[in-house]
Amino acid sequence: MDFKDYYKILGVQKTASADEIKKSYRKLAVKYHPDKNQNNKAAEDKFKEVNEANSVLGDVEKRKKYDELGQDWANYQQAGGTQGFDGFKQGNQQGARASQYSSQQFDDDDFADFFSTIFGGANQRTQAFKGQDYEANIHITLEEAYTGTTRQLELENEKLKLKIKPGTQDKQRLKIKGKGGKGMNKGPNGDLYLTIQVADHGHYQRKGDDLYCKIDVDLYTALLGGQTIVGTLRNPVKMTINKETDNGKRLIMKGMGMPRYDKENEFGDLYATVNITMPKNLSSQEIELFTQLSLLKNTPNAENI
In a domain, 277, yes or no: yes
Query: Directed axis angle between helix 60-69 and helix 41-57, to 10°?
Result: 100
Question: How far apart are alpha carbons 204 and 145 in whole angstroms?
Answer: 13
In a domain, 265, yes or no: yes
**CATH at residue 238:** 2.60.260.20
Question: Residues 16, 84: one domain?
Answer: yes
For position 77, what pLDDT does the model report? 64
pTM for this model (two decimals): 0.55
In a domain, 140, yes or no: yes
Question: How far apart are alpha carbons 39 and 36 in whole angstroms?
Answer: 10
**CATH at residue 103:** 1.10.287.110
Q: Which residue has the higher pLDDT, 102 or 165?
A: 165
pLDDT of 76 over the 70 cut: no
Residue-wise pLDDT for 5-23, tens only, equals: 989 999 999 999 999 999 9
DSSP 107: T
Q: Is 263 exposed, middle or buried (0-12, 13-18, 19+ CB in 10 A)?
A: exposed
For position 103, what pLDDT does the model report? 34
Residue-wise pLDDT for 226-238, tens only, equals: 999 999 999 999 9
For position 124, what pLDDT does the model report? 44
3-class DSSP state for residue 124? coil
Distances (CA, A) of 154 to 52, 145, 157, 198: 43, 22, 6, 21
pLDDT of 98 over the 90 cut: no
Question: Residues 12, 106: one domain?
Answer: yes
Domain enclosing residue 247, as ranges: 205-298
Residue-wise pLDDT for 241-271, tens only, equals: 999 999 999 999 999 999 999 999 999 999 9
Residue-wise pLDDT for 155-201, tens only, equals: 878 898 999 999 999 999 999 999 988 888 888 999 999 999 999 99
Distances (CA, A) of 163 to 148, 194, 206: 8, 12, 22
From 96, 119, 142, give the residue that closes a domain.
119
Count of domains in the chain? 3
On whether the CB atoms of residues 180 and 190 are closer than 8 A, the answer is yes
For position 78, what pLDDT does the model report? 57
In a domain, 124, yes or no: no
Q: Which residues lie closer than 8 Å to 236 by C-beta, 6 or more apart?
A: 229, 230
